[in-house]
């Protein structure tokens, strides 16, 4: 039914407008007590076998919403109501900024993909921290906070900008993500080079500890699928060296491999990060490589082109303890998380593994 609705209504609408409209509806429903309980009961059922422990947190499931959907933490309960068991808000930057000029989000429907060059449009770390501080959670959801660099801040001062965000946001974060992989902020991805990344992650770790001294906020880094394999290894080694809690693989890609001309040459030529189905193969490859390198020492989060339970299962076998998605939600609609959870529980039951934790990385371990 959603697919008819998508084709009739959303497809004709500008993608960013459609996003805001849909998100407003979700938030509206989540504000009505009886209704939200009903919707959550239908869309966020609990499968005992999907319970997951990761980053020192207890989750109902390994599946959550990737960063970028709720940049300002305005709809965490709405997304939890739809079945996303963790919601990664952001990217939040040190200072508020409008992002790139519109139009900046493009649907490639035939390829089940999106291209975006949003450019971290967000209200800034002060406003988002205030919102999180005053939030009364309705559903028990893990809230990850993803931070990035303010565009106007020179690259030489990037560390200070991240530190500012970390200090403000760490107290409200179940986990904190240093995003150095968005293709839409000039120079950002250069921070993935180990020489830049080491001081950045060290400073953010210290900032988080200062801001939230009572607990150790888990710290993760989110990487691009466009890194060369040796650079993936270098980030993995650095993460182990620094005692980082996790790596999120991957962000969107600047490559256009895997895209036919099905979506029309105009959309394909747009600059920005490509997400959705065409990203699947490379994200999975990066994840496998990371797991082969770090094993169980670091929590891996698989994201990029996950469309269904089978995709999520493949990520788990490749080493992901948590999985996330964004683009497929646009095409699959509000029942997406429910269907994925049901399928994932069934997949586990018919597998040789007693628990999800047993399945994590199993495929990489057997081929090693
Ligand atoms: C419109 C849009 C905006 C995004 N914004 C962010 C962001 O602000 N920070 C971030 O780390 N990732 C961002 N992402 C990347 C997603 O979190 C995810 O890594 C990527 O889309 C791959 O997953 P998917 O194929 O399931 O969409 C964005 C993705 C999309 C489509």
CA distance 223 to 330: 23
Element (H, E) at 227: none
7-11, 203-207, 236-240, 313-317 — which is least confidently predicted?
7-11
Task: With 0.95 as the threshold, say if the pTM is over it.
Answer: yes
Question: Measuring CA to CA, which residue among 283, 325, 247 is closest to residue 66?
Answer: 325
Report pLDDT digits (tens) over 9-58: 677 799 999 999 999 999 999 999 999 999 999 998 889 999 999 999 99
What pLDDT does residue 362 have?
Answer: 97
Report pLDDT digits (tens) over 222-242: 999 999 999 999 999 999 999
Beta bridge partners of 145: 89, 176
For the four alpha carbons of 333, 251, 279 and 307, in that order, the dihedral sign comes to: negative
* pLDDT band, very low/low/confident/very high, at 95 (cuts 50, 70, 90): very high
Q: How remote is the CA of residue 66 from the centroid of ligand 1, in Å?
A: 6
CA distances from 265 to 34, 113, 260, 270, 303 (A): 47, 14, 9, 9, 26
**What ranges do the domains of the chain cover?**
2-367
What pLDDT does residue 46 have?
Answer: 86
Asked if residue 65 lies in contact with residue 86, where contact means CB atoms within 8 angstroms, the answer is yes
Asked if residue 128 lies in contact with residue 72, where contact means CB atoms within 8 angstroms, the answer is yes
Q: From the CB of 327, is ligand 1 less than 6 Å away?
A: yes
Question: Measuring CA to CA, which residue among 97, 93, 90, 191 is closest to residue 149?
Answer: 93
Q: How remote is the CA of residue 46 from the centroid of ligand 1, in Å?
A: 26
Q: Is the pLDDT of residue 199 over 70?
A: yes
What pLDDT does residue 267 have?
Answer: 73
Q: Which CATH number among 1.10.3720.10, 1.25.10.10, 3.20.20.70, 3.30.70.360 corresponds to the domain 2-367?
A: 3.20.20.70
Q: From the CB of 97, is ligand 1 less than 6 Å away?
A: no
Q: From the CB of 63, is ligand 1 less than 6 Å away?
A: no
């Amino acid at each position: 039914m959603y697919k008819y609705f998508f084709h009739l209504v959303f497809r004709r609408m500008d993608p960013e407008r459609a996003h805001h409209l849909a998100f407003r509806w979700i938030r509206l429903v989540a504000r009505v007590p009886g209704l939200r309980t009903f919707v959550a009961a239908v869309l966020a059922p609990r499968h005992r076998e999907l319970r997951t422990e990761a980053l020192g947190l207890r989750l109902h499931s390994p599946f959550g919403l990737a960063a970028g959907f709720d940049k300002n933490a305005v709809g965490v309960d709405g997304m939890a109501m739809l079945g996303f068991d963790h919601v990664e808000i952001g990217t939040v930057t040190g200072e508020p900024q409008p992002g790139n000029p519109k139009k900046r989000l493009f649907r490639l429907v035939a390829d089940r993909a999106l291209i975006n060059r949003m450019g971290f449009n967000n209200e800034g770390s002060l406003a988002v921290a205030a919102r999180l501080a005053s939030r009364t959670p309705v559903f028990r959801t893990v809230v990850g906070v993803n931070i990035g660099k303010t565009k106007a801040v020179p690259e030489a001062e990037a560390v200070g900008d991240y530190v500012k965000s970390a200090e403000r946001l760490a107290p409200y974060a179940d986990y904190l993500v240093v995003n150095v992989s968005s293709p839409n902020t000039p120079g950002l991805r250069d921070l993935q080079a180990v020489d830049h990344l080491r001081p950045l992650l060290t400073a953010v770790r210290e900032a988080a500890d200062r801001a939230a001294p009572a607990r150790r906020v888990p710290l993760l880094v989110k990487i691009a699928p466009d890194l060369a394999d040796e650079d993936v290894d270098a980030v993995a080694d650095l993460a182990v060296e620094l005692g980082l809690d996790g790596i999120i693989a991957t962000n969107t890609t600047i490559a256009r491999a895997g895209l036919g001309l099905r979506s029309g040459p105009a959309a394909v030529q747009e600059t920005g990060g490509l997400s959705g189905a065409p990203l699947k193969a490379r994200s999975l490859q990066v994840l496998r490589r990371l797991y082969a390198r770090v094993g169980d020492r670091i929590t891996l989060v698989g994201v990029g082109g996950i469309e269904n339970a089978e995709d999520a299962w493949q990520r788990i076998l490749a080493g992901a303890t948590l999985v996330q998605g964004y683009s497929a939600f646009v095409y699959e609609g509000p029942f997406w998380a429910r269907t994925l959870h049901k399928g994932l529980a069934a997949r586990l039951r018919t597998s040789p593994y007693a628990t999800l934790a047993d399945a994590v990385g199993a495929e990489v371990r057997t081929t090693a």
